Structures are given as structure tokens and as C-alpha cells.
Amino acid sequence: MGFEPRIVGFLCNWCSYTGADLAGTSRVPYAPSIRVIRVMCSARVDPTFVLRCLSEGADGVLVCGCHPGDCHYSEGNYKALRRMALLKRLVRDFGIEEERVRLEWVSASEGKRFADVVDDMTRKIRELGPSKVRAALAADRAER
Amino acid sequence: MARTITIDPITRLEGHGKIEIFLDDAGGVEDCYFQIPELRGFERFVVGRPIEELPRIVTRICGVCPASHHMAGAKAVDGCFGGQIAPLAVKLRDMYYQAHYIHSHIAHFYALAAPDFICGPDADPSVRNILGVVAKVGLEIGGEVIRARSKAQRIQQILGGKTTHLVWCIPGGVSKGLKREELDEIRPLCDQLFEFTQFSLGLFKKVILENPEYVEMILKGPYTLDVQNMGLVDENNAPNFYDGTVRVVDFEGRELYRYRPAEYMDFVAEHVEPWTYLKFPYLKKRGWKGFVEGIDSSLYCATPLSRLNVADRMATPAAQEAFQEMFSTLGGKPCKALMAQHWARLVEMVQNAETLQKYCADPGITGDEFRVIPDRITGEGIGIVEAMRGTLTHHYTCDKKGICTSANLIVGTTNNNAPIHMVTKKAARSLIRPGVEPTSGILNRIEMAFRAFDPCFSCATHSLPGQMPLEVRIHKGGEVRWIFKRP
Amino acid sequence: MAGKKLQIALYWGSACGGCDVAVLDTDEFILEVAALADIRLWPIAADGKYADVEAMADGELDLTLFNGAVRNSENEHIAKLLRRKSKLLVAFGSCAHMGGIPGLANQVTREEIFERAYLNNPSIEAGNVTIPSPRTRVNGRELVIPQLYRRVYKLDDVVPVDYYVPGCPPAPDQVKTVIQAIAAGALPQKGSVVGASERAVCDDCARIKKEKKVKRFFRPWEIRQDPELCLLEQGILCAGSVTRSGCGVRCPNSGMPCRGCYGPGPNVRDQGAKLLSAVASIVDSRDPEEIDRILDGIPDFMNYAYRFGLPASLLQRRFR
């Protein structure tokens, strides 16, 4: 074990990205596993983005949005909620552990919460081990 | 000099296959193997799918007889739902199935088989095909043939909504019924198809029965086997393609077994050889005895000829006449001359067409009650139909939520794997003479052995082994001397 | 090209023959094809052998229509052979285009399938330990069969493909259109999907579409359907919104939902992801528990999302 997970994070501009920034300015330490991509709303996250990350070897994907009721665009986070619920089932069908895809609500003032989420996800994924996707696809190709 | 002749791929059939002929030093046939190189894994990958999806997945086992799998699968699914099905749906499914038979039998006889008889077995390979047939018989007859198959497809399209890979059967019945105006469109097509079956029988007599070389090939050629016969029959021992009891009769006419679909596992088992992906079904109660013919053989054919061999009569009048004429010409029944399968196919088409006409005249056929909503899931079903190429068994189980937990398939052409292997070897031995270089015509005549079976090797090779622990058996002098295993 | 016949081949990989029947279903058009082309290889209907193809010059074939997926070493070998010998190589039908139904095998392992086929199977001869092998020696001679791969591929995973004709099978009208276009040299840029529309099945489906808000999903057999109304609106999962049209809407017109055989629309990388978005967007709830209950009505979502296109999806196969 002891590997450093590579987690891609899609953070919504108004709440969660700001919250993550707050963790930084407050100097709250957290695992350096997350690579952040800022989107305007969690509803912007097309399932294709998550599947592409996983197919290219990401050990985990985190999607963060505003708390229910607080979405800058009113409904966006509910759309994300429904989409992520189904996406988690699909990812499980693919044989990828559920803990690797996660949806969290993080508000602009929740710097500490953001750090805790990242640490928790990193720990869980460290236990699971690296993504098997690239190695399996490469092994498939190698036999031809 | 010892060498190998490889026919690869075999052609004018459905699916992949090759024939390896091993010649000894003198150029005679030492051995001959009929190998199937393909597999896909249906029995495994349908597990976990909602059971009602299986009939529309298993059609993709074969694109020439997809409705066979759809119907057998639908019947297995019916069983999983406690047998709840609207009676009108049974009629509609049977009606569709007759049209499906006609499409497939026309395709096989005219496109796949006829080139050997109309262009001739030794014709140049580039013309030995449907286009060569049309060139020989002329555009008028060629057009008739094409339009006839098109009519059979059209009937299916109207009735079931789709031809290849139909999606029509659903637990409780079918998803659409037949409207009055649709029946009005179908009725004349059924009558025209009946006429076409008569035309086809006439053509067969003219082209094949009036040609002494072909008659000799059928009756005295190497294309015969002393093995048993299997087919579905109704309570009058007439062929029923959609439903019935499985009857097994030996080549001297004795009934060996009769079984209902639920009992299939007691009667048929499958043997495996390392040199082909396709398994070899045999009569379980007799045990696997190897590739041997004879009255005690545990091998059997399941083909149009077999269906007529196990039947005492046809179910419809004009078909009955054709049936009687066929067997009296061939010298009685059962008939072991495997080339007669081409004729049997045409006789079956007559019953298909008459059955269609019977349904067209049924006043209830345009009813609304083509579906019931099932109210219980009982978890297991076995559906047997006669695919055009042989007895087809689909056995499914599912859990309380109707999710498939297992599938077992014994497919039409698979039944004939051992007979095909054996008759190919017989043909090779008979036609390849030491010292005479086999021509393309000779090799084609060897291929004609399997072609009579109208094989469907995509059907046959639904299941998948994959890379595996390797076992190599070295045979010498007819017995296994060494076995090497790689785990 | 005037005055000289087109040299064409039709070949099948891991296939069912349905695409070849689709060509025959163009009816009398096959005679027009015969007039303008020599069919050099078409195992279902003509006697060309592999040796004949090997003997051709590179590029001697003007066109190859390749249907079927790539499941074993022979499929790949012949795909590469035909690519060399053909000026144009067309992935014909769902299997060549996206992996097709055989692609569903990417959810299981080879070992599992082998075990089920030859060992752990109620019909297998009792005590059987024999399994097929790529090489078998018999009496000093060798018998060879192809090596099965660990998973299924689509055609362009193994060779560059010029055009794609989707469908399971492609509708005969479309087959005709494609062949005529090729004969006339009237083709769009390479890599295009031909023989299909740019619209979705929904656009061509005559059912009435109002508003989709689903509190419960139903299996097709669970309810009486309104034959005039959109299936998805009735809670019956249908992939029409994420599937290219051109098929004639055959399945919804039969009373059954679309399962996506024509593949995704233009510029869509992963058809299943689109179906996921579509389905999620109509779930009528904001409550996580209720959402889960509603989604429980769709068992096995992966197989609706990728019925015909698992090898073409981003993840391509199940991982263990």
C-alpha cells in the first residue's frame, strides 16, 4: 500500500470551490490527492466526465456542490443528486468500488469540512488500493 | 507425401467453420476434422439481466433464425412467470413463426444450396452463388424467388413489428396484436407463398430429381449416416415447429424416446473435444460412444429430414401429399440420405404456408387480448421449439425479482455437430482419391455434406470457453497415450 | 472506375449473420449490386476463401463491409488482412461499430464463460475435464482453432475504419443508400457514420411526448402501456432519446422500448452516460431516499446503458 491516490475533484464555483479556497487560506492541511476542476455548478458534471476520469486511471472522483436549497441556480444540485445516485450504481456495475465516486455538499464557509472530506476519501481509497482500470485494459491489449 | 488440405472458411452457410483433411503418404484421406472456431458466451453473460430482456438478447445468437431463439426464449420466460400467457399470443407467435420458417428455408434452398445444383457442384467458385443461380434461371424466376422471401419477411414485419431481431414477445404474451387492415395485407401474401411452395417443389423435381447424377448423389453418395432422428411432434405425431413433445426415432423407425421440455436434461448430454469449440450432443441414456454409427449409436440428427422421419404424418393436407410423395420416391421412411434434407425443407414450407392460411381464416386472430399482466414469478422455464436447423432448447432460471440466475441452451445445429463431422469425413474419404489432386469441385462436394444440414454455427457457438488451463491429449493408435495439463 | 466492376467483400467477425440477411433484405437491389460489383468474399453466400483474399494485391478490393465484433485471433487477423486489401473498410452493424451484443461478454471473464460452457453445466457429459484448446495434436498432426481474447473489441480497436453503418441490423433501406453512395463516390468525410440520421429516435417516434416526471419505473410486462404515449413517460425505460434514428423506430412501433442499437448521436463519446443523464433528469424527487427507491425500479442499469456498445464505452468492460 502507501500509494498516493489521484482523485479528480469537480467543485462548483459558488459554494464548494470557495469552501476549498477557504481551507487553503485558513491553512487547513489535507491530503494532496485531489486535483480540482472548477465548474459553475455541480449540475455541469456530465457523467461522461466521471467515466472518463475513471477510464484514464483516476483512483477516485469527488463531486462537490452547494447544500440542498442553496444552489446558485436553484435546482442544479438536485439534478446532480439524481445523476450521481444513478452514476454510483453504474460504476458499481462496472466492478469499481463505490467509495471511488462521491458526492458531497460543501458550502463556501466549510473549509474544514472540505479538508475532512478529502482526507476521508483519500484514506478509504488508500485502503482499496490503486485503480485497476488501466492495468486491466493494458493486460487485455497485451495478449493480442 | 503426407500433407493437409484446409478448407477455410467453409462457405454458403451461417457461421464460421473449417475442414482439415489429413492426407497420408499415398494421398488418401487419413483423417478429417470439422472444426468450429467461434464462441461468444451467451449462457454466461445473460446471467444478471432482467429475464424479460433475454428473448431480445438471444435473438443475436443468430440473424437467420432469430425468431427461433426469441420464441424458445419467450417460452422459457413464460415458464418463469408460471406459464401465464394469453391464448391469442400463442396463436400469433405460431403464425409469425411459420413466416419465419419460410424466409429461412427460401434463403437456404435458393441462396445457399441451389448453386450446387443449378450451377453445378463443379462450377467456377465465382459463379457458384445466388447471383450465378439467377443468371442461370433468368431474372423472372430469380425475381420470383427474391420476392417470395420478401413476402415472408413482410408478413413478419407486419405481424411482429420487425423481422431480424424482433422484440415482440413479452411475459404474458406479445407486445402488439394484428389489426384488421394488417390481416388484409397479409392474407394474399400467404396465398402467394403457398403457390410458391408448389413452384419450389416443382423446381426441385425438375432440376434435381430429373437429373440422374443428382439422384445418384442423393441416394447412393457418401452422404448417409446410420444415426437416430429427433424432432418436435404434436399429439398426432405431426411436426409442430413452435410447440410439442420431443420424439426420438432410430434410423429403422423405432421410437426410442418421447420427452416433454421439462425432461430434456435426462435425455440429452454434451461431449467436448479439444479441437473444436462446439460441443457434441448425444443421447444421454446411451452414453457417449464416440463418433460411431449404428443401431446402438447415441448420436442423432435434428434436421428437416429428421423432423419428417420422426413424424407419422404432416399437419396440413397439401404438405401431407408432398410428404408422401417424398418418402415413396426415396424408398420409405426413415430416410438416411442426408441430401434429402433439401427436399424435406421444401415439404416443410408447404405446411408453413398452409398453417399461415389457416390463421388468416381464424376470426379471432385480430383480437385485442394478446397480453396478460403476469402476477407471479415462479423462477424457472424451459422452452423448446424446432429451429429450422434442429431442436432448440432454452432453459432459464430467475430470482424472485425476475433477474436471470442461469441459462442453458442446446441449439439446433449443435445437435448435428457429430453427424456433420462424420459425414464430412465420409465424403472426403469417398471423393479424394490417392494420387489425384482434389479439384475445387471435389472440395466443394465435400462441403456439400455439411451444407445439406443448413448449419448455423453462430447459433451453435453461443457459449464461450476462453483461454484456460490447457490439456493436450496425444492419441496414438486410437487411444490416448499421454495427457499434458497446464493449470 | 467507369466500365470496371467494383471489387467488394462482405465479411463477418464474431457475428450472427443478421447483417448479411439485412443485405439480402434489400431484395431485388442485390441484382443491381451484382451488375456493378464482383463479390470476392461473402462466406454466407459465396465461395471465396481466405486464400483468395491473401492472393489479392493490396487495395485490390474497392470496399469491404465488415460486420461482427472482434472476439478472437482469427477475427483480428482477417480484419487486418481485409484492411490491407481494401481501399475502403466499413464497420457494418452494431457489433463492428460498437461491439454489439457479443460485447456484453465484457461483463464476465473468459474463465467464467469457459467454466460454464465446458465444466459446470447441467448438460455436460459427467466427469468431463476436456476443454477446447488453440492447438491440439492428434496422430502427429496439429489441429488449430483461434485463441479467444480476454474481452470483445469493436472493429476500429484493431484496424482503422473508414465509415460506420450502425444498427442491429442496419435497416435494409439504409444498406441500399450506403452502397449506392459508395458506388457513386458520394461519401462524407472519413470516420463518419453513414446510413443513419443525425436525429434521435425520439424525433422520429410518433408517440406523444408531454412531460416526463417519473415516480416509478416499470418493467415492460408490469403494466398495460398506452400505445400512443411515450414509453419513458409511462415509466418504461427506453433509450430512444440517446440513440440515432434511421432504424424506422421499429421497436417502439412494436410496443417495445428502444435499446439503443443505432448507437449514440453525433459528438457523443459514451451513449450510456447520456442515457444516465436522461433517466436521472426525469426522476421526480429531491429526496435521496425516495430517489433510491425510484431507481430501484431499474435493475441492472448497465445493460440498458450499454446493451449494444459496451466495448465502445469509456470503461469498456467490467473490472474485478
For B343-363, how does the pLDDT look when each residue is reduced to its tens digit (9 = 90+)?
A: 999 999 999 999 999 999 999
Nearest CA in chain C to B78: C221
Give residue A23's domain range. 7-142
* Average pLDDT for C71-80: 97
**C-beta atoms of C276 and A132 within 8 A:** no
B466–C109 C-beta distance less than 8 A: yes
Do B75 and B170 contact (CB within 8 A), yes or no?
no
From chain B, pick out residues whose CB is under 8 angstroms from the CB of C9: none
Size of interface A-C (CB pairs under 8 A): 93
Give the pLDDT confidence score for residue B466 in this predicted structure.
32
Interface partners of A (3+ CB pairs, < 8 Å)? C
Residues 25-54 of C with CB under 8 A from B: 25, 27-28, 30-31, 34, 38-39, 42-51
Nearest C-alpha in C relative to A136: C319
Residue B309 is inside which H or E element, if any? helix B304-310
Bridge partners for B18 per DSSP: B35
Cβ-defined contact of A89 to C316 (cutoff 8 Å): no
Mutation choice for B interface testing from C21, C28, C129, C217 by most B CBs within 10 A = C21
Whole-angstrom distance, CA of residue B162 vs CA of residue B153: 9
Residue A1 lies in a domain: no
d(CA B16, CA C75): 10
B477 C-beta neighbours (distance < 10 Å), count: 6
Average of per-residue pLDDT values in chain C: 95
Beta strands B404-410 and B470-476, pairing class: unpaired
Angle at B344 between CA B94 and CA B449, to 5 degrees: 120
Rg of chain A's alpha carbons, rounded to an integer? 15
**Residue C43 clears pLDDT 80, i.e. is over it:** yes
Q: How far apart are CA B459 and CA C18, in angstroms?
A: 12
Report CB contact under 8 Å: C314, A51. yes
Q: Are C83 and C160 in contact (CB under 8 A)?
A: yes
pTM of the model: 0.94
CB A19 within 8 A of CB A69: no
Query: What pLDDT shows up at residue B459?
Result: 79
Q: Which residues of B touch C256 (CB under 8 A)?
A: 56, 161, 167-168, 170, 175
CA terminus-to-terminus distance, chain C: 53
Q: In Å, how far is A142's CA from the nearest CA of chain C?
A: 10
What gap in Å lies between CA B304 and CA C158, rounded to an integer? 40
Nearest to A85 among C147, C151, C291 (CB): C291
Q: In the B/C pair of chains, how many CB contacts fall below 8 A? A: 321
Distance between CA C195 and CA C174 in Å, rounded? 5
Question: How close is the nearest chain C Cα to the Cα of B449, in Å?
Answer: 15
pLDDT at A125: 97
C125 at B interface, C-beta within 8 A: yes
Does the CB of C120 have a partner CB in chain B at under 8 Å? Answer: no
Are the beta carbons of C314 and A136 separated by less than 8 Å? no
- Nearest residue, CB atoms, C131 vs list B112, B161, B465: B465
- Reference C138, options B20, B278, B474; nearest CA is B474
Distance CA A77, CA A71 (A): 6
A111/chain C closest Cα distance in angstroms: 24
Is A2 within the bounds of a domain?
A: no
Q: Mean pLDDT over residues C118-125, rounded?
A: 92
- Rounded Cα gap, residues C235 and C215, in angstroms: 8
Distance CA A130, CA C273 (A): 24
Q: Which residues of chain B have pLDDT under 50?
A: 464-472, 482, 484-487
Establish if A138 belongs to a structural domain.
yes
Rounded Cα gap, residues B255 and B260, in angstroms: 15
Q: Do the bridges between strand C6-12 and strand B470-476 make them parallel or antiparallel, or are there none, so unpaired? A: unpaired
User: How high is the pLDDT of residue B253?
Assistant: 96
Contact C145 B37 (CB under 8 A): yes
C230 by Cβ neighbours in 10 Å (0-12 / 13-18 / 19+) ranks as buried
CB-facing half-sphere around the CA of C165: CA atoms within 13 A: 29
Measured CA to CA, the distance from residue C137 to residue C248 in angstroms comes to 51
CATH 3.40.50.700 domain range(s) in chain C: 6-101+152-184
Nearest to residue C154, comparing CAs of C74, C69, C214? C69
Chain C residues within an 8 Å CB radius of B374: 221
Question: ipTM above 0.90?
Answer: yes
Interface residues of chain A, partner chain C, Cβ below 8 Å: 46-48, 51-52, 54-55, 68, 78-79, 81-83, 85-87, 89-90, 93-96, 132-133, 136-137, 139-140, 143-144
Separation of CA C216 from chain center: 30
Residue B457 is predicted with a pLDDT of: 85
Which residues of chain A have a pLDDT value below 70? 1-2
Q: For residues C220 and B118, what is the distance between their CA atoms, to the nearest angstrom?
A: 48
Spatial separation of the C-alpha atoms in residues A38 and A19, rounded to whole Å: 12
| Cβ contact B18:B8 at 8 Å | yes
Q: Shortest CB distance from A78 goes to which of C149, C286, C317? A: C286
Chains in contact with C via at least 3 Cβ–Cβ pairs below 8 Å: A, B
C247 CA: distance to closest CA in chain A (Å): 26
Q: Are C92 and C18 in contact (CB under 8 A)?
A: no
C281: closest CA of chain B, how far (Å): 23
Which residues of C are less than 8 Å from B134 in CB distance? Answer: 31, 34
**The Cα angle at residue B233 between residues B230 and B235, in degrees rounded to 5:** 145
Please report the pLDDT score of residue B76 as a whole number. 98
What single string gives the DSSP state of each residue in C193-256?
B-SS-SSBHHHH--SB-----BS--B-TTTS---TTB-TGGGTB---GGGSB--S-SHHHHTTS
Copy the grid coordinates of residue A74: 436553484
In Å, how far is C26's CA from the nearest CA of chain A? Answer: 37
**Residue in C101, C125, C131 nearest the CB of B57:** C101
Whether residues A86 and C279 touch (CB distance < 8 A) is answered with yes
- The grid coordinates listed for C240 are 430512444
Distance from CA of A30 to the nearest CA of C (A): 28
The residue length of chain A stands at: 144
B12, B112, B161 member nearest C253 (Cβ): B161
Cβ distance C30 to B146 less than 8 Å, yes or no, reads yes
* CA-closest candidate to residue C246, choices C291, C212, C196, C202: C196
Is C16 in contact with B13 (Cβ distance < 8 A)? Answer: no
CATH 3.40.50.700 corresponds to the domain C6-101+152-184: yes
CB contact under 8 A, C139 and B31: yes
What is the model's pLDDT at position B469?
Answer: 39
Tell which residue, B406, B412, B382, B378, has the closest CA to residue B394. B382
Residues C242 and C144: their CA atoms lie apart, in Å, by 43
Please state the domain count of chain A: 1
CATH of the domain at A62: 3.40.50
Contact state of A48 with C270 under an 8 Å Cβ cutoff: yes
List the single residue in C291, C315, C316 with the smallest CB-CB distance to A82: C291
Q: How far is the alpha carbon of A25 from chain C, nearest alpha carbon, in Å?
A: 33
Query: What pLDDT, on a 0 to 100 scale, did the predictor assign at position B480?
Result: 55
Radius of gyration from C-alpha coordinates of chain C: 22
Distance CA B453, CA B10 (A): 13
Sheet with C61-67, edge to edge strand ranges: C37-41, C6-12, C61-67, C86-92, C163-165
